[in-house]
Amino acid sequence: MVRGKTHVKARTVLFIDDETPWLDMIKMVTKGESKFKVITASSGEDALRQLKRKKPDLILSDVRMPVMNGFDLYEKVRSNPEWKHVPYVFMSSIDDLDAKRIAKELGADDYVEKPFDTQKIKDIVLTLLFRFK
């Protein structure tokens, strides 16, 4: 019997935003995080490529993006049996009641307004990763 720490594999979070400062910020605040690692995508199309490479344990996606917005991406994710049950959180810098309503109707796991507190994002990520183990 080997004694000592049990190695727990870090879970993967896919963070999607078309604005580089948000991508840079999330990389910075999660650097060195042992419970999860973040991969990023700068568009819905890029996110689909990332999903084909590695299925994440959680998706955080901006709502307002060019070409494929977060709602369209959500529908593509949910239509794929392999990704269907991955928890999905929408983020938006717009306090838009319609966007919140649509996110809720679609069945999103959460909706976060930007700018967000980095500790709040970590708490949401850890809560959803624990809930959907």
Q: Tell me how far the alpha carbon of residue 33 is from its chain's centroid.
A: 15
- Residue 38 — very low, low, confident or very high, per pLDDT cuts 50/70/90? very high
Beta bridge pairs of residue 89: 60, 110
- Averaged pLDDT, 45-60: 96
Of 107, 106, 110, give the one whose Cα is nearest residue 129.
110
The CA distance from 31 to 54, in Å, is 19
| CA-only gyration radius of the chain, Å | 15
Mean pLDDT for the chain overall: 87
pLDDT score of 5 more than 60: no
Contact 53, 77 (CB under 8 A): no
- Averaged pLDDT, 8-21: 88
Q: What is the pLDDT of residue 97?
A: 78
Q: Which domains does the chain have, with CATH numbers?
A: 11-131 (3.40.50.2300)
What pLDDT digit, counting tens, does each position of 63-118 carry? 999 999 999 999 999 999 999 999 999 998 766 778 888 999 999 999 988 888 88
